Amino acid sequence: MNAQPFPIRFKLTHPGDQSLHAKLEWFLHQPGIILAAVEPLQGGTVSELHISRKGVILLSGEERLRFHPSMALLRLMNLERGQADRFLGATGLTPGDALLDATLGLGTDALVAAFAVGPQGSVVGIEQAAILAALVKDGLATLGARHDVVGVSAAKAKAWVGLFEAAPRIQVCWEEHGEFLKNLGDQTFDVVYFDPMFRRTRTKSASIRPLHAYAEHGELTRETIAAACRVARKRVVLKERKGSREFARLGFEVVESGRYSQVDYGVIESD
């Protein structure tokens, strides 16, 4: 399945603010974003992007979605305290590595990865939903400008700086990951990562539920995993619900996890 264009309406909170008009123009020039008709077809829903001086919010019915690196920030703070990160343990990323995040979402894992690989490393994030790709690209580009480290603890300030430095290492691409992988050469990336969990989400998760409406819900195919194995120099990693049959179906070996963890990571090592 190819990535499809995304029709959307826009609203500026301050129509006279030229910087907001510039932001609107930027979004309209992003791949796959098209301006929708004033009203959706009967029974349909057209998402609306609210562009304000405080940031950008995507609205669809009662759901609200915005880019915010809160979980990535917490994970960086934990790393600074010496705590392990299961994603980094599963991927085995080291400074200078190149990661392909084939299911970018809102980019939390991509940010943690970009921090881990350091200035000599790189991260490419593939997102099939055009509006998510644009939302994350904008969020990464404006991360430092929208968050002030004045008045926060030293640990949090250090983590914020880590995120500011990591964000430019991430390249966001609007594409279907299977098509993207087919066009890559052998051993192009050190690690290829998949987190397709958003196709089934818990209704109680207020932070994930809005994302679920825009995420790709199709199952990973064996062909896609075979392509990922060809592209990865070190390993391919899959994140799934604990006990998921996807690991066995796709040929992944589950990494040992905590007893109370709700997710597992599976790995296929490159030959």
pLDDT tens per residue, range 103-153: 999 999 999 999 999 999 999 999 999 999 999 999 999 998 877 777 889
* Helix 108-117, helix 154-166: angle, nearest 10: 90
Please state which of the ranges 24-38, 81-95, 126-140, 223-237 shows the lowest mean pLDDT: 24-38
Query: Residue type for 115, please?
Result: F
How sure is the predictor about 198, in pLDDT bands with cuts at 50, 70 and 90?
low
Q: What distance in Å separates the CA atoms of residue 234 and residue 91, rounded to the nearest whole number?
A: 9
Assess whether pLDDT exceeds 90 at residue 203. Answer: no
The 10s digit of each residue's pLDDT in 4-47 is 678 889 999 999 999 999 999 999 999 999 887 655 444 556 78
How sure is the predictor about 218, in pLDDT bands with cuts at 50, 70 and 90?
confident
pLDDT given at position 237: 98
Instruction: Say which residue, 212 or 248, is predicted with more confidence.
Output: 248
Contact 228, 181 (CB under 8 A): yes
Residues of the chain with CATH 3.40.1630: 6-65
**How, if at all, do strands 47-52 and 6-12 pair?**
parallel
Average predicted confidence (pLDDT) for the chain: 88
Percent of the chain with pLDDT over 70: 88
Distances (CA, A) of 158 to 33, 152, 163: 35, 10, 9
**Which CATH code for domain 70-269?**
3.40.50.150
**6-65: in CATH 3.40.1630:** yes
How sure is the predictor about 84, in pLDDT bands with cuts at 50, 70 and 90?
very high
Q: What distance in Å separates the CA atoms of residue 250 and residue 108, rounded to the nearest whole number?
A: 24
Residues of the chain with CATH 3.40.50.150: 70-269
